[in-house]
C-alpha cells in the first residue's frame, strides 16, 4: 500500500473539495457535483479557486471506472457572480464543467444577460433551488440546461407541479437531496433525468437475510484470519474451495497491493510476503465487491471511504491502520447487502472496537469514520482531527485514485 509519506508529496491545494455523484435513472454516475470550499465558502467557487483546482479536478476527480472502463464525467461547479461577470473565464473545458447558479444569487439584469452570453458560447448552465411558485426564476428557464429541484422540503404535490412546469420549458430535471429509495422511485415516475442524494447508501433491510455464496466463504476466511492461531496452510485450504475467488484475490494483491516485481502465486505466498493483516484487508475488500443489482458507485464510495479512513489515521499518528480501513470500507455494507448493521455485526467477524465504531461511531475508529463522512458531505467546518485541512483534500484525492485502481483490479474477466 502507498504510505502517507508518498501521498503528501502531491501538490497540496489551498481549497478543500469533495464530490457528490449525480445519477441517471439506472443509478449510473452521470456527473459529480463539486463541493468546493476556498475563498467564498458559502457562495461558490471564485476565479482563484477554479484556477487552483481545475487541473486536479480534470486529472483525478472526473475520472471514473464504470461499466468496465475508465472514462470522464462532467462536474457541476457552483460559481460566484464574480465568475459570471468576469471578462474571461479560466480555462474551463465546456464538456467537463456544468456551471451551477447558486439558489441564493441575486439575479440582476446584468447577470441574466451574462448568463445568456455564456450559454450562447456553449457553456452548460444549471439552476439550483428551483421553486415552481417563484416567477422571478422563469427568466432563466429559457437559458439554463439543467434545473435542480430540492426534494427535501417539497411535498408530492409541489414536486409534481415543479416537474410539470419544467417539462414545459424542455430543460433537464435533477432531483436533489433524495434520502430514500421510495422518493427516488417517485421522482423516476415524474420523469426526472438525474438524481442526487443519500438514497443509494440507505439500506432496505430484509429481515433474516444472511450472507451467502462466495461471500460466505469470505466470512470463513475472515473468521480464520481473526484466529490468533491462524496458519497460512489453513487459510489457503479455505480459499481453494473457490478457485475463482482465490485467483481474484491474488490478482488484486499483485496489481494493487504490492508495487514489487515478484509475482504472488498462492495465498500462503501472499501471507509470507505481506502478513496476515494485509490479507485481512483484501478479504474485506472482496466482501464489498460484485453484489448483484447494486450500482458500482456504492462499491466505489466504500473503497474511497475505507482508504481515506486509513490515510487520515496514519497522518494523525493513530494505531491499527488496517482496522481503520476495514471500518470505513464496511460502513455501508448494510446498504450493499440489504441487511441491517446490527444483524451484519452478528455475521461478520470483527473485533469489538470495530463493531462499536460501525454501530455507534465510538472510539478512535468511529471518530475517523465520522470525519470522513463529514468530508464526503462537504461539512468541512465540522472537521477536527487535523489542523491543516489541506491534508484532507490530498487524502481524498489519493483515495479516489486508489479506489479506481482497486475497482479495475477487482473486476473479474473470467
| 356-359-361-365 Cα dihedral, nearest 10 degrees | 50
In whole angstroms, what is the distance from residue 187 CA to residue 185 CA?
5
Q: How far is CA 393 from CA 60, 197, 251, in A?
A: 12, 21, 29
Distance between CA atoms of residues 239 and 266, nearest Å: 10
Residue 5 has a pLDDT of 57
Is residue 92 within 8 Å of residue 75, measured between CB atoms? no
Condensed to tens digits (0 to 9), the pLDDT of residues 122-179 reads: 999 999 989 898 888 888 999 999 999 999 989 999 999 999 999 999 999 999 999 8
Domains of the chain are 4-201 (3.20.20.450), 214-410 (1.10.3210.10)
**Distance from C-alpha of 396 to C-alpha of 176, rounded to nearest angstrom:** 23
The stretches of 13-71 forming alpha helices (DSSP H) are 47-56
Q: What count of Cα atoms within 13 Å lies in the side-chain half-sphere of residue 349?
A: 16
108 grid coordinates? 440582476
Judged on CB neighbours under 10 Å (0-12, 13-18, 19+), 97 is: buried
| Distance set, CA 382 to CA 2, 242, 335 (Å) | 27, 45, 25
DSSP at 252: H
Which residues lie below 8 Å from residue 334, measured CB to CB, with a gap of 6+?
Answer: 203, 205, 340, 341, 344
Long-range contacts of 340-347 (CB under 8 A, 24+ apart): 340/203, 340/205, 341/203, 343/205, 343/209, 347/210, 347/211, 347/219
- Which helix (H) or strand (E) is 390 found in, with range? helix 390-410
Q: What is the pLDDT of residues 36-59, one digit of tens each?
A: 885 444 567 777 888 878 888 888
Tell me how far apart the alpha carbons of residues 40 and 15 are, in angstroms, rounded to a whole number.
10
DSSP 112-130: HHHHHHHHHTT-EEEE-S-
CA distance 75 to 73: 7
Predicted local confidence at residue 9, as pLDDT: 57
End-to-end CA distance of the chain: 26
Answer yes or no: are the C-beta atoms of 92 and 54 closer than 8 Å: yes
Q: Using one digit for the tens of pLDDT, what is the confidence trace for 303-320?
A: 999 999 999 999 999 998
Q: Given this model, what pLDDT does residue 58 score? A: 87
DSSP 44: -
Q: 184 vs 16, 146, 166, 191, 196, CA distance in Å?
A: 29, 18, 18, 11, 9
Closest among 302, 414, 321, 410 to 365, alpha carbons compared: 321
Compute the radius of gyration of the chain from its Cα atoms: 23
Q: What is the pLDDT of residue 191?
A: 96
> Residue 106: what pLDDT?
82
- DSSP letter string, 392-413: HHHHHHHHHHHHHHHHHHH---
pTM (whole model) above 0.85: yes
Q: What's the rounded Cα separation, in Å, for the pair 260 and 13? A: 30
Question: What does the alpha-carbon distance between residue 25 and residue 227 come to, in Å, rounded to a whole number?
Answer: 44
Task: Please report the pLDDT score of residue 210 as a whole number.
Answer: 85
CB-neighbour burial class of residue 277 (10 A; exposed 0-12, middle 13-18, buried 19+): middle
Please return the burial class of 28, using the count of CB atoms within 10 Å of its CB with bins 0-12, 13-18 and 19+: middle
Yes or no: say if 82 and 47 are a contact pair by the CB < 8 Å rule: yes
Helix (H) or strand (E) holding 150: strand 146-150
Report the alpha-carbon distance of residue 193 to residue 185 in Å, rounded: 12
Q: What is the chain's pLDDT, residue by residue, as a tens digit (414 residues)? A: 556 656 665 567 788 899 999 999 999 999 999 998 854 445 677 778 888 788 888 888 999 998 889 989 999 998 888 888 888 777 788 999 999 998 878 888 999 999 999 999 999 999 998 989 888 888 899 999 999 999 998 999 999 999 999 999 999 999 999 988 899 999 999 999 999 999 888 888 788 888 877 788 888 888 888 777 878 888 888 888 888 777 777 777 776 555 555 677 787 887 777 788 878 887 888 888 767 778 889 999 999 999 999 999 999 999 989 899 999 999 999 998 899 999 999 988 888 999 999 999 999 999 999 999 999 999 999 999 999 988 999 999 999 999 998 888 777 443
Amino acid at each position: 500500500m502507498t504510505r502517507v509519506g508518498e501521498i503528501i508529496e502531491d501538490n497540496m491545494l489551498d481549497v478543500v473539495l469533495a464530490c457528490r455523484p449525480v445519477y441517471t435513472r439506472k443509478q449510473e454516475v452521470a456527473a459529480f457535483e463539486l463541493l468546493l470550499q476556498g475563498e467564498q465558502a458559502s457562495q461558490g467557487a471564485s476565479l482563484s479557486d477554479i484556477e487552483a483546482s481545475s487541473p486536479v479536478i480534470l486529472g483525478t476527480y472526473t475520472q471514473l471506472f464504470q461499466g468496465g472502463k475508465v472514462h470522464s464525467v462532467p462536474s457541476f461547479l457552483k460559481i460566484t457572480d464574480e465568475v459570471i461577470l468576469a471578462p474571461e473565464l479560466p480555462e474551463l473545458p465546456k464538456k467537463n464543467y456544468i456551471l451551477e447558479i447558486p439558489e441564493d444569487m441575486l439575479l440582476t439584469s446584468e447577470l441574466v444577460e451574462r448568463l445568456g452570453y455564456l450559454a450562447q458560447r456553449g457553456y452548460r448552465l444549471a439552476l439550483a433551488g428551483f421553486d415552481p411558485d417563484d416567477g422571478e426564476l422563469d427568466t432563466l428557464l429559457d437559458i439554463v440546461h439543467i434545473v435542480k429541484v430540492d426534494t427535501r422540503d417539497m411535498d408530492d404535490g409541489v414536486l409534481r407541479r415543479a416537474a410539470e412546469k419544467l417539462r414545459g420549458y424542455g430543460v433537464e430535471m435533477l432531483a436533489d437531496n433524495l434520502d430514500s429509495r421510495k422518493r427516488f422511485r417517485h421522482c423516476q415516475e415524474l420523469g426526472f433525468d438525474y438524481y442526487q442524494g443519500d438514497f443509494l447508501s440507505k439500506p432496505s433491510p430484509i429481515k433474516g437475510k444472511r450472507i451467502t455464496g462466495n461471500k460466505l466463504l469470505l466470512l470463513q476466511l475472515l473468521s480464520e484470519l481473526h484466529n490468533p492461531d491462524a496458519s497460512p496452510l489453513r487459510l489457503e485450504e479455505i480459499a481453494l474451495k473457490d478457485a475463482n475467488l482465490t485467483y481474484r484475490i491474488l490478482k488484486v494483491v499483485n496489481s494493487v497491493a504490492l508495487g514489487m516485481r515478484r509475482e504472488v502465486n498462492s495465498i500462503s505466498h501472499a501471507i509470507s510476503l505481506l502478513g496476515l493483516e494485509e490479507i485481512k484487508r483484501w478479504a474485506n475488500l472482496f466482501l464489498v465487491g460484485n453484489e448483484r443489482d447494486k450500482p458500482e458507485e456504492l462499491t466505489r464510495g466504500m473503497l474511497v471511504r475505507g482508504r481515506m479512513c486509513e490515510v487520515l489515521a496514519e497522518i494523525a499518528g493513530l494505531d491499527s491502520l488496517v482496522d481503520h480501513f476495514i471500518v470505513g470500507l464496511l460502513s455501508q455494507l448494510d446498504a450493499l447487502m440489504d441487511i441491517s448493521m446490527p444483524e451484519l455485526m452478528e455475521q461478520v467477524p470483527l473485533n469489538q472496537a470495530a463493531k462499536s465504531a460501525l454501530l455507534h461511531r465510538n472510539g478512535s475508529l468511529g471518530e475517523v469514520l465520522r470525519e470522513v463522512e463529514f468530508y464526503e458531505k462537504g461539512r468541512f467546518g465540522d472537521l477536527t482531527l487535523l489542523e491543516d485541512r489541506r491534508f484532507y483534500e490530498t487524502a481524498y484525492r489519493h483515495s479516489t485514485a486508489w479506489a479506481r485502481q482497486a475497482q479495475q483490479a477487482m473486476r473479474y474477466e473470467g
